[in-house]
Every structure is written in structure tokens, then in C-alpha cells.
Amino acid sequence: MKYQSQKIALAYFAVAMALFAVQVTMGLVLGWVYVSPNFLSELLPFNILRMLHTNSLIVWLLCGFFGAAYFLIPEEAEREMHSTKLAYLQLLILVVGTAGVVVTYMFNLFEGNWLLGKEGREFIEQPKWVKAGIVVAALIFLYNVTMTVLKGKKTAITNILLLGLWGLALLFLFSFYNPDNLSLDKMYWWYIVHLWVEGVWELIMASILAYLMLKLTGVDREVVEKWLYVIVAAALFSGILGTGHHYYWIGTPGYWQWIGSIFSSLEVVPFFAMMAFAFVMVWKGRRDHPNKAALLWSLGCATLAFFGAGVWGFLHTLHGVNFYSHGTQITAAHGHLAFFGAYVSLNLAIFTYAMPILKGRDPYNQVLNMVSFWLMAGGMTFMTFVLTFAGTLQTHLQRVNGEYFMDVQDQLALFYWMRFGSGLAVVLGALLFIYAIWMPRKEVIEPGETAEVPAE
């Protein structure tokens, strides 16, 4: 670790991994509700569990991105972060907001209250005060990193990362706009949901992946940057108008079906490019980096993102197909592998790479970490196949034959059992990962300035 302020990342990664554990545990509980629908139905109904599952996912991924930024920006800009205090203040706001969200959801506090009650819009259910907190935290973050980069060296990696993070923060502002017209509501809602994960997050992903490739393979920076620009161009070209693939059935004009189908079909291109990039860099690279687990996660990330986001996305993106498959388990299959491949694996890759450096030790527990990769990746891939088959069957029974939703659900029980099993593998993998990252205490750990308590 060259710069003291990189240490900030440690706190962010700790929070991220704690929430990661919460997220997958909630996922497992949800998987159980699918096979045993009355489980917890009084105490924690399915919709609340699902909110916790998706919200904690998003928050931990964001914490991971922020942590990654705090880790790599000092190194790229070749200077300390503008302010360490602000970075911890930002984290504090995020943690308080998250805690507030969890409590509000679980006990349904202040229902209907403009400021304090949950808002009930999928993924952006947070009460207004939490949303405001997120904006303040984002502003603090952007101020901090932008000042650092402006005063330091500017590289393609930091430029793209900043572009992605600025976009992320600005697009979130649409969460404050809640028109009465449901079609308009959904239209703006996708500005956040789609333009995050299929737009600006891809920039963040590409830049972090580029940083990892640079460090792990030792390929020339110019080569990495050239790839990075091409990937980013392809992502924005396809992703922005690709938003149209969410506008098929929400009441927007019919031409969106073609705009959405055509542009979103091309969204597979940046993901293919990222996969090609990662493998070409490894082949070209001459560096034999000791952190093999980080390399495995990086390659796994690029590959699973290509399949989960690219291929499984394309599977149901054409409006003629989506007319039948919309909102079935096919969507769930795509959602799981896309998020796991693109953003979860990316975060786990940068954690695996950065944690030994942050803790000032050699990359221990490589084998455990790699086992956790195969457990999680295997479990998630199996889950994706299972849900894809379930979704195909569901599409036929429900949309073609016209059977009732709940009758169809009964017929899918076998798939839901298998999904629970694969979920169990993912949770075990996640816990193993966290253990592999944090547990070895035999080594002398460099005492940081921040008394950081490991999450697990």
C-alpha cells in the first residue's frame, strides 16, 4: 500500500462484506419461502424479505465500488485522498441510512409518512430521508475523489471511473421524482434502474477490471486503455437507448419495441469485449502475480458477466420473445447471473486483490478463496439453469396455455427445491470467501489508524 488514505477502502470493504452476508442469507430465506410459502409469512412477509435482499445487494455493491475507488484512485492519481475524514463521514451516513432502511422495512414504521415512511417503488423503496442521505453521501464522495483526481495524475482508468460514479449519482436523483401517471413513473424509474446497471455501472466495472488487469498481468497501460475506451464506447452506445427494452409494455409508444430490441441486442457487445479483454490480457501478460485468486475472480467476473448479462439478457430482450417471457422466472435467472457475474464477482475480485495489500500481508488463503469462487459460481450457474428451465415451463403453461399463476407455481416446485439447494451452495461459498479474506490472524497485521473491526 503506497498511500495511507487507501486504508479507507478497508472500512468500506468490511461494511460491504457484512451486507453481502445479509444479502445472501435473505436470498436463502426467500428461496425457502418459494418451497414453503407460509414460512415467516406473518413475521417477515415475502415482499419485505425481497426488499432486504435487493436493497442490501445494491448498498453493498455501492460500498464495494466506493471502497474500490478509495483504493485505486490514490494509486492512479499518485497522491493521498483529498480528505480521509469526509470519506469516513460518507460511510457513516451510508451505514446509518442502511440501518434506518432495514428497521423501517421490518417494522413498517411511519407508513405513509412523506419523509419517514417507505415509498414502495421497487428497488427505490427507501424513505425520503435515506434517499437524501444517499445523495449527500454521494456528493461528499464525488467532491472527495474529484478533488483528488484534479490535483493528481489523470489516467483513463480514473477518468472512466469518475464518469461512471458521477453518472450513478446524478441518475439517482430521478428517485425523487414520482409522477402520478404510472407509465411516466416507470419511464423515469428505469432511468435509475436500467441506466445504472446497463450504463454507468458498466463504466465502473470496466475501469476496475482494467485496473485489476493492469496490476495482475503487467500488460502496458496503453493497451489496457485502448480496450477500455472501446468497451466504454460500446457500453454507452448500446446501453443508453437499450433502455427501450423496458418500455415494451408500460404504456410508452410502440416504436420503443424496435428501438429497445435493436439497441439492447447490442448490449452483449461490451460484455463480450470485457471477456475478450480479460483473457487477452492474461495471455499477453508476462507478470506472474502471486494473487491467483484475484485473477480467478477477474476472469470469472468477465466470463459470468458475458453469460449472465450478455447472453441471458439477449435471450429475452427481443420484444417478440419478451411478450411471452416477461416477468417469468427467466427474468429471475438473468437477474441472478447478471448481478453475480458482473457486479458481485467484480467486487469480490477487487476485495481479493486489495485486502492483502490493505492488511499488509501476503495473499493467504488462496485455495480457500478459489474454492469459494467455484462454490459460488457453480451454485449461481446451476441456479440460473434451474430458473431458466422453470421460466421456460412457466412461459408455456401460463402465457401459452393460459393456466393460472398459482397453479403454474405448484408445478414448478421441483425447480424451486433445486434452486434452494444451489442457493445454499452460494451462501456457503460467500461465508467461505469472507472467512478466507478476514480470518487468518496468525500474521502480524499492520495496525491501521482507523480501529477497524472486521465484519465477520
Partner 1 sequence: MARTPARAEPHGALDELPGELLMWVLIISELLVFGAGLAAFLGVRLTDPSGFAEAQDHLHRTGAALNTLVLVTSGFLAARALGLRQVGRRALARWHLGAAMLLGVVFLWIKGAEYADKAAQGIGIETHPFFMFYYLLTGFHAAHVIAGIVVLGLVAIWDDAHNIEVGAAFWHMVDLVWVLLFPVIYLLA
Question: Applying CB under 8 A, does 447 fall inside the site for partner 1?
Answer: no
Q: How many chain residues are in contact with partner 1, going by CB under 8 A?
A: 22
Q: What is the DSSP string of 338-405?
A: HIIIIIIHHHHHHHHHHHHHHTTS----HHHHHHHHHHHHHHHHHHHHHHHHHHHHHIIIIIIS---H
**Residue (95 or 230) nearer to partner 1, CB:** 230
C-alpha cell at 273: 469485449
CB 19 within 8 A of CB 98: yes
Question: Applying CB under 8 A, does 254 fall inside the site for partner 1?
Answer: yes
Question: Applying CB under 8 A, does 253 fall inside the site for partner 1?
Answer: yes
CB 30 within 8 A of CB 53: yes
Residue with cell 435482499: 53
| Binders of partner 1 in range 210-229 (CB under 8 A) | 220, 222-223, 225-226, 229
Query: How far is the C-alpha of 4 from the C-alpha of 9, rounded, in Å?
Result: 10
Question: Applying CB under 8 A, does 230 fall inside the site for partner 1?
Answer: yes
Q: Considering the complex, what minimum distance in angstroms separates the CB of residue 274 from partner 1? A: 14
Candidates 372, 361, 348; CA nearest to 431 is 372
Among the candidate windows 180-188, 251-259, 381-389, 413-421, which touches partner 1 by CB under 8 A?
Answer: 251-259
CB 238 within 8 A of CB 274: no
Among the candidate windows 56-64, 253-261, 345-353, 396-404, which touches partner 1 by CB under 8 A?
Answer: 253-261
CB 299 within 8 A of CB 282: yes
Query: How far is the C-alpha of 277 from the C-alpha of 415, rounded, in Å?
Result: 35
Among the candidate windows 40-48, 247-255, 414-422, 427-435, which touches partner 1 by CB under 8 A?
Answer: 247-255
Give the SS3 label for residue 398: helix
**Residue (88 or 229) nearer to partner 1, CB:** 229
Q: Considering the complex, what minimum distance in angstroms separates the CB of residue 154 from partner 1? A: 12
Question: Applying CB under 8 A, does 96 fall inside the site for partner 1?
Answer: no
Question: Applying CB under 8 A, does 238 fall inside the site for partner 1?
Answer: yes
Question: Applying CB under 8 A, does 446 fall inside the site for partner 1?
Answer: no
Among 84, 265, 392, 411, binds partner 1 (CB under 8 A): 265
Q: What angle do CA 57, 60, 61 make, to 5 degrees?
A: 80
Eight-class DSSP state of 400 = I
**Residue (261 or 328) nearer to partner 1, CB:** 261
Question: Applying CB under 8 A, does 283 fall inside the site for partner 1?
Answer: no
C-alpha cell at 134: 444517499
Among 114, 177, 258, 404, binds partner 1 (CB under 8 A): 258
Sequence-distant (6+) residues with CB within 8 A of 110 are 104, 116, 117, 127
Candidates 238, 275, 282, 230; CA nearest to 260 is 238
Question: Applying CB under 8 A, does 263 fall inside the site for partner 1?
Answer: yes
**Residue (126 or 238) nearer to partner 1, CB:** 238
**Residue (85 or 226) nearer to partner 1, CB:** 226
Among the candidate windows 192-200, 202-210, 265-273, 328-336, which touches partner 1 by CB under 8 A?
Answer: 265-273
Query: How far is the C-alpha of 336 from the C-alpha of 376, rounded, in Å?
Result: 12
CB neighbours (10 Å) of residue 317? 24
Question: Applying CB under 8 A, does 106 fall inside the site for partner 1?
Answer: no
C-alpha cell at 161: 471511473
Alpha helices in 36-80 (DSSP H): 46-77
| Binders of partner 1 in range 50-89 (CB under 8 A) | none
Among the candidate windows 61-69, 122-130, 189-197, 230-238, which touches partner 1 by CB under 8 A?
Answer: 230-238
| Binders of partner 1 in range 8-47 (CB under 8 A) | none
Query: How far is the C-alpha of 346 from the C-alpha of 27, rounded, in Å?
Result: 20
HEC-encoded secondary structure of 92-111 = HHHHHHHHHHHHHHHHCCCC
Question: Applying CB under 8 A, does 381 fall inside the site for partner 1?
Answer: no
Question: Applying CB under 8 A, does 262 fall inside the site for partner 1?
Answer: yes
Q: Considering the complex, what minimum distance in angstroms separates the CB of residue 253 from partner 1? A: 6
C-alpha cell at 164: 461512471
C-alpha cell at 359: 492488511
**Residue (188 or 237) nearer to partner 1, CB:** 237
Among 233, 413, 414, 445, binds partner 1 (CB under 8 A): 233
Q: Which residues bind partner 1 (CB under 8 A)?
A: 220, 222-223, 225-226, 229-230, 233-234, 237-238, 253-255, 258-259, 261-263, 265-266, 269
